Amino acid sequence: MSAQIVWLRRDLRLADQAALAAAVAAGGPVIPVYILDDETPRHRRMGAASRWWLHHSLAALDAMLREAGSRLILRRGRCEDVLAALASETGAGAIHALHHYEPWWRNAERAVARTQPLRLYHGNYLAPPGSVLTGSGGLFKIFTPFWRALNAGMPSPLPLPPPARILAPRSWPDSDELDGWELLPSKPDWAAGFAAEWQPGETGALQRLAAFVGCADAYDHARNFPSEAGSSRLSPHLHFGEISPAQVWHGLTAEGRFPEIFLKELGWRDYAQNVILQFPDYGVHPAKPAFDGFPWRSGAQARSDLAAWQQGRTGYPIVDAGMRQLWQTGWMHNRVRMIAASFLVKHLLIGWHEGEQWFWDTLVDADYGSNATNWQWVAGSGVDANMFVRIMAPLSQSEKFSAGDYIRRWVPELACLDDPFVHDPDEFGRRPETYPQKLIGHRQARERALQAWKRS
């Protein structure tokens, strides 16, 4: 039997991995390969926080493959060139991979298929993007009807078990050393706090799911409160494919459970992929023409305000807590993401694409479809979006959702303040000297945003 190559990208698992299962079923030796390709994505090369995760995820995957009698081959370069060379070296009969829907991966798949026998499978989403259709046979642009149609087709098939044994070739092709890729930061090591928060890899993903199953019924309430442990924290594991959405769905709906609010969040992930399938440049260009000439602020003061937002020094405690949590852990609570994004776009009048790029570099779960869809939703420029004139009030949001303990954890200058002072120290005359003044007052920011909208 000829060798079978498994081309891995954001699908770094053994269980419910259709490409790996097909390669094993072919009966010949299997060569799993991950290619670090920074050329194909160009300006969408993986961000710094994602590279930290990737390093540890690849190490975990290699360890699991070795337990099954195999190993992971690492190569660097353009995917079509590396795969062509690897197929020639090994005499591979086919290349197996899961479909990916980012525009650069779709281009890469077409390039590989022009010269190699490429076999593509589904498995990174609940339903293959492009398969959930309207009554007229088109693709959905609005989430709610998309969710109804997607949910009507659930549950997805039961997840595939991991292969017990993977046949190895008589001799392995050359492989790069993972440490040689220098994916981990060192000078300085700004990711020092990541390890306390995360366990990348398939084992960590399954443990995270098991821990969440018992509290998923409370998600509808707890997800809104940053001081509570209500989030699943599965997003980076799903992004890197260390667990499949089918595994999550079936794990959460076993024994008659149906935590609909969380499952809708899983459905939003599918929806975002359907959006970028229709609008490949969604991470760059607004979907609504009204935003083409929007008067976003620019110049030295805007750049200074952007830096203050990135550093968590805006003078708005809930915003600053979120931005510092992001820097220290590579992740931010979902409600705080909305508050921080709205603050950048509407309070500071800085274009949503600036925030999208910052999240792309700093989130361990940075996903092109979800990141772009979420930012355009907040800005009001998306195909399905909040209206621009709906401006979140970060100070009242902080108090409404009891974010005091969250702020005290991530903004140590305010750790000595009790509620309600911690939500708005300026208002109560309790702002420590070490904590910055507000960049702009809420009312002033709101009026400026509404005037900008009128001029657009």
What is the set of active-site residues?
265, 268, 296, 334, 352, 375
* Residue 329 contacts residue 410 (beta carbons within 8 Å): no
**CA gap 30, 3 in Å, rounded:** 6
Dmax over Cα atoms in the chain, in whole Å? Answer: 76
Q: Which residue matches tokens 């046979």? A: 137
Q: Which residue matches tokens 């509407």? A: 346
**Can you read off the two tokens belonging to residue 309?**
């937002």
HSE-up (13 A, CA, CB side) for residue 306? 20
Q: 279: Cβ–Cβ under 8 A, 6 or more apart, which residues?
A: 285, 287, 383
**CA gap 109, 129 in Å, rounded:** 16
Please tell me whether residue 186 adopts helix, strand or coil conformation: coil
Q: Which residue matches tokens 């007229």? A: 136
**CA gap 220, 131 in Å, rounded:** 28
CA 330 to chain centre: 11
Q: 347: Cβ–Cβ under 8 A, 6 or more apart, which residues?
A: 316, 391, 394, 439, 440, 442, 445, 446, 449
**How far is residue 108 from each of residues 12, 34, 274, 377, 397, measured CA to CA in Å?**
18, 14, 19, 29, 43
**Can you read off the two tokens belonging to residue 346?**
């509407």
**CA gap 66, 62 in Å, rounded:** 6
**Can you read off the two tokens belonging to residue 431?**
């702002």
**CA gap 87, 70 in Å, rounded:** 17
Check the CA dihedral 258-259-264-265 and report its sign.
negative
* Residue 12 contacts residue 57 (beta carbons within 8 Å): yes
Q: 206: Cβ–Cβ under 8 A, 6 or more apart, which residues?
A: 243, 247
